[in-house]
């Protein structure tokens, strides 16, 4: 059974604390990284891998914001707990991408506070629109992330097996989150919404690739 919900002020403070830790602290995952290989990369390959993994790290920062905001305004206690559990699972992705960035000698995006704030606002709006719409927003987000990760598997240097192993495992788990949300009662979003989401994601990924 779902645990009794915290009072709204406590949930708000918890979400704020989670956001600060997501943006400014180094995450600790519950599972070890799926990267089992090692790689020696040329400087150009290292820079390209670093840029791509920075984008992936931004995506996980945004995932935390989305799940936390949707849980905050969710009406159904069981669904709220599901959002919170998904956020915990996604912390592993956050930790894996940050670890790989460190190994590549690169850094997270300098705009992570902005990315987190924007995603939190979008998640809140989706949640306020209703639980089924919120789930539909989650399905679309995860599907777009899955496509994005597939494109990175094409773009990552072939020699960078550690990054490729991380991205491949993330892709599998993002697809599973979308399927779970779909089975939980998600509705299909009207056509303009996914298109606007793709446009916003393109802007974010292009900027985060460099900054």
Q: What are phi and psi of 22, to 5 degrees?
A: -65, -45
pLDDT tens digits, 17-49: 767 778 777 888 788 898 888 888 899 999 999
pTM metric for this prediction? 0.87
Angle of helix 112-128 relative to helix 43-73, nearest 10 degrees?
30
Q: Give me the residue spans of the domains in the chain.
A: 44-208
Tokens 């599973």 sit on residue: 176
CATH fold of 44-208, please? Answer: Ferritin (1.20.1260)
68, 15 Cβ separation under 8 angstroms: yes
| Encoded tokens for 80 | 């709220």
Rounded distance between C-alpha atoms, residue 85 and residue 101, angstroms = 25
End-to-end CA distance of the chain: 44
pLDDT tens digits, 111-170: 999 999 988 988 888 888 888 888 888 888 888 888 889 999 999 999 999 999 999 999
* 54-58, 69-73, 79-83, 106-110: range with lowest mean pLDDT: 79-83
């Amino acid at each position: 059974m779902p645990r009794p919900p915290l009072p709204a002020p406590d949930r708000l403070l918890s979400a704020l604390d989670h956001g600060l830790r997501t943006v400014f602290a180094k995450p600790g995952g519950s599972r070890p990284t799926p990267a089992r290989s090692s790689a020696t990369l040329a400087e150009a390959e290292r820079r390209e891998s670093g840029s791509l993994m920075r984008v992936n790290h931004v995506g996980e920062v945004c995932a935390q914001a989305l799940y936390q905001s949707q849980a905050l305004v969710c009406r159904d206690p069981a669904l709220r707990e599901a959002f919170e559990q998904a956020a915990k699972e996604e912390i592993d992705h956050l930790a894996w991408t940050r670890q790989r960035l460190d190994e590549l000698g690169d850094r997270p995006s300098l705009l992570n506070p902005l990315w987190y704030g924007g995603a939190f606002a979008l998640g809140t709006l989706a949640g306020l629109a209703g639980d089924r719409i919120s789930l539909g927003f989650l399905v679309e987000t995860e599907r777009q992330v899955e496509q994005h990760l597939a494109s990175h598997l094409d773009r990552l240097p072939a020699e960078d097996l550690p990054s490729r192993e991380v991205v491949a495992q993330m892709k599998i788990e993002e697809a599973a989150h979308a399927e779970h949300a779909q089975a939980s009662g998600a509705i299909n979003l009207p056509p303009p919404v996914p298109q606007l989401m793709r446009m916003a994601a393109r802007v974010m990924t292009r900027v985060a690739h460099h900054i």
